[in-house]
């Protein structure tokens, strides 16, 4: 049965009606089977740097690498809305934000995500004014991990809470269709969700957001390294994959039983 294409407006309209499930996708095959599972929002995230390319954090991911993975995912022609991250230092000016956004759109992205709030508001407004759907990202910003010396939960202090709320309101007023809240304290995530008219999609921010996004390899248990604490339930495909490879390898290297079909027999 044919189902309608998911758009940014589809995601926006889900607020208060239906919780939003979102996952990351990095290639054709992954996008195809996540789409077949009915996930409405897929993100070609710069997390590709850590889980696919072997970088220590997302700050090493280039525009060329993002374009490559967006093209691969877009070839699956998903029903889901396919969003893509603007990578580190690709959104420093309005001109750069527009140029790099257009590069990702040319590669097949249908919406753009960038980290930040009021500090990138001119870039956000320019992207939206160009008719391009924009997804915000507040809270712990992975592209700031080096500058901040690690991954830290946000919203613990009154100042952080006030800044997060102001950023969320600014993004909503600028025309973003949703906001990812990463590692925001649950009370602050709940307050933001209640305050703004667009969906919040949480990751490690409690259960009161309008939806949830995960790195797919964290969900499946195939990410290199530790699985984040906010991934409460996940599969253990890495163990199963390893067992399958070992079983196949043993079948290859195990000496074959000699056949007696062509042996000489004394009469």
Q: Report residue 55 as tokens.
A: 């970088």
Distances (CA, A) of 214 to 22, 116, 133, 260, 262: 7, 19, 21, 56, 58
Q: Which one, of 161, 159, 139, lies nearest residue 151 by Cα?
A: 139
CB 95 within 8 A of CB 126: no
Rounded Cα distance between 148 and 139, Å, is 13
For tokens 């001119």, name the residue: 122
For tokens 């027999």, name the residue: 265
Rounded Cα distance between 196 and 171, Å, is 9
3-state secondary structure at position 47: coil
Active site residues: 182
In a 13 Å sphere around the CA of 157, the CA atoms on its Cβ side amount to: 4
3-state secondary structure at position 84: strand
Q: What's the CA dihedral at 108, 16, 171, 58 to 10 degrees? A: -50
What phi, psi does 21 have (nearest 5°)? -100, 130
Q: Report residue 246 as tokens.
A: 């070992």
CB 237 within 8 A of CB 222: yes
Q: Which one, of 176, 196, 240, 180, lies nearest residue 47 by Cα?
A: 180
């Amino acid at each position: 049965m044919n189902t309608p294409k998911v758009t940014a407006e589809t995601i926006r309209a889900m607020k208060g009606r239906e919780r939003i499930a979102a996952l990351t996708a990095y290639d054709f095959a992954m996008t195809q089977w996540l789409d077949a599972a009915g996930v409405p929002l897929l993100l070609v995230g710069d997390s590709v740097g850590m889980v696919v390319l072997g970088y220590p954090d997302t700050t090493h991911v280039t525009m060329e690498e993002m374009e490559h993975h967006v093209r691969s995912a877009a070839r699956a022609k998903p029903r889901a809305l396919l969003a893509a991250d603007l990578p580190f230092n690709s959104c420093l000016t309005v001109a750069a934000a527009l140029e790099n956004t257009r590069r990702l759109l040319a590669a097949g992205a249908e919406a753009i995500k960038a980290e930040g709030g009021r500090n990138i508001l001119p870039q956000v407004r320019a992207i939206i004014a160009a008719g391009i759907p924009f997804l915000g990202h507040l809270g712990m910003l992975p592209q700031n991990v080096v500058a901040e010396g690690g991954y830290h939960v946000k919203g613990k202090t009154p100042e952080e809470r006030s800044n997060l709320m102001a950023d969320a309101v600014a993004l909503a007023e600028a025309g973003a269709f949703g906001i990812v809240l990463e590692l925001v304290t649950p009370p602050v995530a709940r307050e933001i969700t209640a305050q703004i008219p667009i969906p919040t999609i949480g990751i490690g921010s409690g259960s009161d957001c309008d939806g949830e996004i995960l790195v797919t390899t964290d969900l499946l248990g195939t990410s290199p390294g530790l699985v984040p604490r906010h991934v409460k339930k996940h599969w253990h495909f890495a163990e199963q994959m390893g067992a399958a490879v070992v079983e196949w390898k043993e079948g290859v290297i195990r000496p074959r039983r000699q056949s007696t079909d062509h042996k000489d027999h004394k009469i």
